[in-house]
């Protein structure tokens, strides 16, 4: 009797606790948006893409249910003229507030099926280049999407925390986050970004470079999704022990007909040489602007690579060779920023001064 009573109380408590929606850490990236729940890990990772009708009135109407994320990304370069697939954060600044809000709402709803109960707290990471107005717009969007309290955090801070680096110490650490639209190089100490280089050169630019290379060398026109697939499959920054090849399909520019082509990893390495070296140059100029005491700390702490671009084989070795520092790739680097936002949620008090609140 006493036991079953105890059980019912426990059940009731459980139900009550479940009423409170879980807090959400969100990485609002130029290429991908991730949602991470403390204790559960990353629960959503989808492209930051929204498909909208181009000429309807009102002009912006997401296509029901299939408008955002993966489904929308599939539509890029395959849509009729009446539909546009938009990446609202493409260059690391928010090009379109309304579309960013539609996207954020959609992803939050997707992971937060229950719309009643206690409203969640959210930590949203934003590109460092964002203006105060844009930051306010992100907060408003999160509130409109159901947040009780919203904090924003600069991407390199969240990324460093997610990579397991203790950023609150008076010791210099350096992260390089290579995303889709932007790369951010930052030296952090005492929870603050001390030196920052943010540049609009990252994964997208490598895709563009592959498109140009294939056009110039082979007279073959390929789309962005094909270029990205080639990059993810065979790109490298340093000679591979065994070079590999990949079949590309595109359109022959002269004949106007579809054509296949075998391309080698060595050629793709040559194709992405410029964007890769622009990121390395940014890292060097960030080091150059770093105060000497912090710069010397980096001899111990090294550089940590984050973001999807960190997965390019050989990048670690190349950056290490070019800077003379030890370089490590964060575990599951594409999720590091999202993990950081969830860690910040768990330790809101401890990290109060790292975060921006409304």
Near Mg ion by CB under 5 A: residue from 29, 62, 120, 333? 29
Residue 78 or 114: the one with the smaller Cβ distance to ligand ADP is: 78
Q: Which does 156 bind (CB under 5 to 8 A by kind): Mg ion, ligand ADP, none?
A: none
Does residue 340 interact with Mg ion by CB under 5 A? no
By the 8 A CB rule, do 155 and 175 touch?
no
Looking up tokens 């009708």, which residue turns up?
53
**Closest by CA position to 175, among listed 346, 351, 291, 333:** 333
Least Å distance between CB 271 and ligand ADP? 13
For Mg ion (CB under 5 A), the number of binding residues is 2
Q: How far is the CB of 178 from Mg ion (least distance, A)?
A: 9
Determine the Cα–Cα distance for residues 343 and 347; give it in Å rounded to an integer.
Answer: 6
Number of residues that bind ligand ADP (CB under 6 A): 19
Strands 245-252 and 258-264: antiparallel
Residue among 283, 312, 318, 344 that touches ligand ADP (CB under 6 A): 312
Radius of gyration of the chain (CA): 22
Q: Which is nearer to ligand ADP, 191 or 309 (CB)?
A: 309
- Closer Cβ to ligand ADP, 85 or 295, answer by number: 85
Other beta carbons within 10 Å of 113? 7
Closest to ligand ADP by CB, 53 or 225: 225
Check residue 12 for interaction with ligand ADP (CB under 6 A): no
244 binds ligand ADP (CB under 6 A): no
Candidates 32, 189, 195, 301; binder of ligand ADP (CB under 6 A) is 32
Cis amide linkage into residue 58, ω under 30° from 0: yes
Q: Is 232 in the site for ligand ADP (CB under 6 A)?
A: yes
69 binds Mg ion (CB under 5 A): no
With contacts defined by CB under 5 A, name the span among 87-95, 171-179, 234-242, 268-276 that binds Mg ion. Answer: 171-179
Residue 339's Cβ-count burial label (10 Å; 0-12, 13-18, 19+) is: buried
Bridge partners for 152 per DSSP: 124, 356
> What is the closest distance, in whole angstroms, from the C-beta atom of residue 180 to ligand ADP in the complex?
4
Q: Is 205 in the site for ligand ADP (CB under 6 A)?
A: no
Residue 122, both tokens: 């959210």
**Looking at 90, 139, 231, 316, which residue binds ligand ADP (CB under 6 A)?**
231
Residue 179 binds Mg ion, judged by CB under 5 A: yes
d(CA 192, CA 197): 14
Question: Please, what sign has the CA dihedral across residues 155, 187, 133, 57?
Answer: negative
- How many Å apart are CA 318 and CA 51, to the nearest integer? 38
Considering only 62, 69, 172, 309, the residue that binds ligand ADP (CB under 6 A) is: 309
Structure tokens at 246: 């990949």
CB closer to ligand ADP, 232 vs 253: 232
Q: Where are the extended beta strands (E) located within the chain?
A: 24-28, 32-37, 41-47, 50-53, 83-86, 121-126, 149-154, 173-178, 183-189, 192-199, 220-221, 245-252, 258-264, 303-306, 327-329, 356-357
Does 31 interact with ligand ADP (rule: CB under 6 A)? yes
According to DSSP, the β-strands at 121-126 and 24-28 are parallel
Judged by the rule CB under 6 A, the positions of this chain that interact with ligand ADP are: 29-32, 179-181, 203-204, 228, 231-232, 235, 307-309, 311-312, 334
């Amino acid at each position: 009797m006493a036991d079953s009573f105890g059980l019912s109380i426990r059940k009731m408590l459980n139900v009550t606790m479940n009423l409170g929606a879980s807090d959400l850490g969100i990485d609002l990236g130029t290429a991908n948006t991730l949602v991470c729940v403390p204790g559960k890990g990353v629960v959503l990772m989808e492209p930051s893409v929204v498909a909208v009708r181009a000429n309807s009135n009102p002009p912006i109407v997401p296509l029901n249910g299939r408008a955002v994320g993966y489904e929308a990304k599939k539509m890029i370069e395959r849509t009729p003229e009446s539909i546009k697939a938009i990446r609202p954060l493409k260059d690391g600044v928010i090009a379109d507030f309304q579309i960013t809000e539609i996207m954020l709402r959609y992803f939050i709803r997707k992971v937060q099926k229950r719309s009643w109960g206690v409203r969640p707290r959210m930590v949203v990471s934003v590109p460092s280049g964002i203006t105060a107005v844009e930051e306010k717009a992100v907060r408003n969007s999160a509130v409109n999407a159901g947040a009780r309290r919203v904090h924003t955090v600069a991407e390199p801070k969240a990324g460093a925390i997610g990579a397991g680096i203790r950023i609150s110490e008076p010791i210099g650490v350096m992260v390089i986050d290579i995303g889709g639209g932007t790369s951010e190089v930052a030296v952090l100490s005492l929870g603050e970004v001390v030196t920052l280089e943010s540049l609009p050169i990252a994964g997208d630019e490598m895709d563009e470079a592959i498109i140009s290379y294939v056009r110039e060398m082979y007279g073959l026109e390929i789309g962005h999704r094909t270029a990205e697939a080639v990059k993810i499959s065979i790109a490298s920054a340093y000679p591979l022990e065994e070079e590999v090849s990949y079949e590309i399909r595109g359109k022959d520019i002269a004949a106007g007909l579809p054509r296949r082509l075998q391309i080698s990893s060595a050629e793709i390495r040559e194709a992405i040489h410029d964007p890769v070296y622009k990121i390395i140059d940014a890292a060097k100029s960030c080091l150059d602007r770093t105060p000497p005491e912090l710069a010397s700390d980096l001899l111990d702490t090294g550089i940590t690579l984050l973001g999807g671009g960190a997965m390019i084989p050989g990048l670690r070795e190349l950056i290490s060779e070019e800077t003379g520092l030890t370089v490590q790739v964060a575990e599951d680097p594409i999720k590091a920023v999202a993990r950081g936002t969830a860690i910040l949620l768990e330790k809101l008090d401890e990290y109060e001064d790292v975060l921006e609140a409304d």
